[in-house]
Amino acid sequence: MNADVAAAEIAVFEEVAADRESDYRHSEIAHVLDFESTASWVGTERPRGSRTTNSSGQPDLRTSVGKALALLNAFDSSASVLGVTALADAAGLPKSTAYRLLVALQSSGFVERRGTGYCVGRRMFELGNLVAACRPRNLRDVALPFLSDLYELSHETVHLATLEGAEVLYLEKLFGHNKLRVPSHIGKRFPAHCSAIGKAMLAFSDDVTVDAVIRQGLKPRTPYSIVVPGNLRRSLKRSRQYGVAYDREESAIGVACVAAPILCRGEVVAGISISGPPPNYDPVRYAGAVRKAAAGIAAKLASPI
């Protein structure tokens, strides 16, 4: 990295820090976060049953299929095994109905019994890997060698994710040597505006996408998350200019990150990132490598198989 590029990268990172302090002081934070306990905002999950199937934003409980989907949506990453009562409450179903549907789902391998509770079954795993991004020679397979290169370079946590509305969906994660408390795992969603990988993809998305994220509300995950729309737009403008986005403890305290978008024919298809614990981890140091890896993945995706 030459001196001019290095200076530009540092300047961007310092601007991110300035906006971080602005968001920290913003009065909206005081109404959302409980500063007496970090547990109130670190490691929290999406409300159960929040993934939807109909235009109203909720599974249609008037049909058996809708009820079964509501039960499957009730599983989340906060607990691998859930009892009938917990699943019924999360899905909004009578316990007897939930039990009857769980028996049917179990017989087909969509859920499995674990003691007195249930967990997602192997059939769901099989179906999940039929998603286009996970199929052989597609996004995840193409990206993995580049992710491995970034891991070998940094020995930090490396991610691959796609943008799904106002959230990122993690497709791959390589764990670093540090015991980093990153709020991510494969198959999990996370607010795009609170993460470097999300902001990197939003920076190259159209105005409709960014406006939709802002309309949904910029809810914070830490005291340093971006909650002011103007600050988010400035952050995205910088990211578009320099090709990378940064996260300075916006997703989780003790986590810094640099990310770049994967662009095919000018369209965002995914993003990659390296996360590590500050101050030992300097995300600016890896900005060029992340940009280069993202460009390499894009080139491979665009080339004939």
- What pLDDT, on the 0 to 100 scale, is given for residue 137? 62
Neighbours of 86 (CB within 10 A): 17
Q: What is the pLDDT of residues 218-233, one digit of tens each?
A: 999 999 999 999 999 9
Which residues of the chain have a pLDDT value below 70? 1-58, 77-79, 132-137, 304-305
- What pLDDT, on the 0 to 100 scale, is given for residue 34? 37
Q: What is the pLDDT of residues 55-91, one digit of tens each?
A: 445 677 888 888 888 888 888 766 678 899 999 998 8
- What pLDDT, on the 0 to 100 scale, is given for residue 150? 97
